[in-house]
Structure 1
Amino acid sequence: MDSSVMTQFIGEVLGTAILVLLGDGVVAGVSLKKSKAEGAGWIAITLGWGAAVSIAAYSSGYLSSAHLNPAVTLGMAMAGNIGWDLVAPYIAAQMVGAIIGAILVYVQYMPHWKETKDPATILGTFATGPAIRSYGANLISEIIGTFILVFALLSFGTGDFGAGLNPLAVGVLIMAIGLSLGGTTGYAINPARDLGPRIAHAFLPIPNKGDSDWGYSWVPVVGPMIGGALAAGLFMMLPI
């Protein structure tokens, strides 16, 4: 791995770790017992995730493209915005960063796991799950949400946001997706954001945890990758 690719690898690890630390962190704050934010609700979670994406992008965008999401990386490669040689290093870095971020959430909320007795609540601070389990419908939800994400990101690239404003727009985009579309599956829209923390949930010694719901785990991986590819395919067909 040459120095340029290594720098970008580090950027994707750092950015994705910050993304998951702040994103899963707000879920933990809202969900875990005896947290001062307990019960703050869905609005707090969507606002927190939107802010997490913006902060993560600002914190890593000088090192890499700050995709922080394998579905975004796939879409950008299909659209010709990055070389295919960067896809594997980016996705590997995003997975590493997501696991690191999840471990940091575990450390941050260390006393609260023991106080939280519901295994589903604990898993929900790490990975997504459906409001109504219907794999076909859940898959479609993740496809649609990620399609909007990647198509919007590609569209943003055609405009002039001014210096430093793009990450803010991306944060608003994440909040919009969460508020409008996130109620069905918790809007993973990012395979690394879901799979990395799910892996961390599986190996961390978390009190009161149950299983990691591997039966559902393919949905927030496959759905976003399909959605990202479809978004890039449509974008490339447009007369730009």
Structure 2
Amino acid sequence: MLEYVAEFVGTMILIIFGAGVVAAVSLKGSKAEGAGWIAISIGWGFAVALGVYVSGTISDAHLNPAVTLGFAAIGEFPWNQVPGYIIGQILGAIAGAVVVFFHYYPHWKVTPDPATKLGVFATAPAIRHTPSNFIAEFIGTAVLVFGLLAIGANTFSEGLNPLVVGLLIIAIGLSLGGPTGYAINPARDLGPRIAHAILPIDKKGPSDWAYAWVPILGPIAGGIVGAILYTLMF
């Protein structure tokens, strides 16, 4: 049970810092407004590293259903713990998004574009082409899980592993994140999207549920394939 709570807390921290940097860069009146994609990519990298540090002493610090399912698919994680991990991750993501909403409370009203407000919570493609969007999420998550398994194999630097994982996230964001905003994590997209749908955000617009399946199924498929490829190669 404590492992599920740790996944909740770690994922909440992940979203507070990750969605928080998007809000800082995107919302009107923020002192970081316009800081750009590099700031967002670095912010998400640190967000993941901090989430892993917070939860890693109690849980396996997956913070991501695609990681949980990918590891389970190759026998690196017990299937009976998968539901608890995923529920904790999604609930933690919702909670983190709620914190970001209140932290930036006055900025929602002065930000006129509904898509910008949604973009703080959930991903959207730069060019909406569903097959390509799915492939981008698939590739990004396959690289993520492949990289996590490689990092985990290097036990000589266990204390630094969360920072290395953060660097992996930054690299994915800078190199592969442009087409879709790189959810690479179903909880990271679904949880905040649910929060966007239920929170009283001023003139927020729709939550784009027609696209929501892409950052869920793309990362799940990519995570499983990335894990299998790693086991086949090493």
Q: TM-score range by the shorter chain?
A: over 0.9
Deviations 1:29-86 (A, max 9, x none): 0000000000000000000000000011001111101100000001111122211111
Q: Aligned residue for 1:113?
A: 108
1:212 to 189, 203, 207: 207
Q: Aligned residue for 1:3?
A: none
Distance in 2, Cα, partners of 1:78 & 1:156: 18
The yes-or-no answer on 1:122 pairing with 2:117 is yes
One-letter amino acid of the counterpart of residue 195, structure 2 = A
The yes-or-no answer on 1:27 pairing with 2:6 is no
Q: Aligned residue for 2:87?
A: 92
Asked whether the equivalents of residues 116 and 208 of structure 1 are also in contact (C-alpha less than 8 Å), the reply is no
Distance in 1, Cα, partners of 2:13 & 2:87: 16
Q: Aligned residue for 2:181?
A: 186
Which range is displaced more, 28-37 or 153-162? 153-162
2:99 to 79, 96, 104: 104
Q: Aligned residue for 1:69?
A: 64
CA root-mean-square deviation: 0.8
The yes-or-no answer on 1:176 pairing with 2:171 is yes
Deviations 1:87-124 (A, max 9, x none): 11000100000000000000100010001010000000
Unaligned runs of 5+ in 2: none
The yes-or-no answer on 1:36 pairing with 2:31 is yes
Distance in 1, Cα, partners of 2:158 & 2:211: 40
One-letter amino acid of the counterpart of residue 162, structure 2 = P
Give TM-score, length-normalised by structure 1.
Answer: 0.96
The yes-or-no answer on 1:47 pairing with 2:51 is no
One-letter amino acid of the counterpart of residue 38, structure 1 = E
Give TM-score, length-normalised by structure 2.
Answer: 0.98
Distance in 2, Cα, partners of 1:49 & 1:159: 23
State the SS of the aligned residue for 1:87.
helix
The yes-or-no answer on 1:16 pairing with 2:11 is yes
Distance in 2, Cα, partners of 1:16 & 1:153: 17
Which range is displaced more, 22-31 or 80-89? 80-89
Q: Aligned residue for 1:166?
A: 161
- Identical amino acids, percent of aligned pairs: 61
